[in-house]
Amino acid sequence: RELVARIRAVLRRAGAAGGGGAGGGEGADHPITWGPLSVDRRTRLVRLEGAEVALTPKEYDLLVELCSDPGAVLTREHLIDRVWDENWWGSTKTLDVHVASLRKKLRPELIETVRGVGYRLAEVAGGP
């Protein structure tokens, strides 16, 4: 079972990088723009108000997942399954730490906590 789960995780990550999931697929060649934030999935560059923001690979993957459906609430379980692995056995505090780091590097108000549920990319004044 563990081997099958690991293979599925690798295939899912490979699909996300090259042609499916949050990191690829339709529109992967076009940057995601949400207010002052721009995420280029082809080059893995993140810009905030035109300035490049350096992110770790996990921070980037987390941001791309949040950008996959801006404004929608993504559960903690969904984010951990998509960004880490469906078989992640570590603490969910890992997610909290990465969200806190993203907030520091971007803007705290860009990522909202939905208490007891998860996180969402905040609505931006004037729309995306």
Domain of 53: which CATH number?
1.10.10.10
112 is a domain residue: yes
Q: What is the predicted pLDDT for the residue at 28? A: 62
User: In total, how many domains does the chain have?
Assistant: 1
Determine the Cα–Cα distance for residues 85 and 34; give it in Å rounded to an integer: 26
Q: Is the pTM of this model over 0.85?
A: no
Q: What is the mean pLDDT of residues 61-69?
A: 92
85 is a domain residue: yes
127 is a domain residue: no
In this predicted model, which residue has the larger pLDDT, 46 or 89? 46
User: Could you tell me if 52 and 43 are in contact, meaning their C-beta atoms sit under 8 angstroms apart?
Assistant: no
97 is a domain residue: yes
Q: What is the mean pLDDT of residues 28-49?
A: 87
Dihedral pair phi/psi, residue 37, rounded to 5°:
-100, 135
55 is a domain residue: yes
- Tell me the two tokens of residue 11: 């295939």
Interhelix angle 93-105/57-67, rounded to 10 degrees, is 90
SS3 assignment, position 44 = coil
Domain span at 105? 2-121
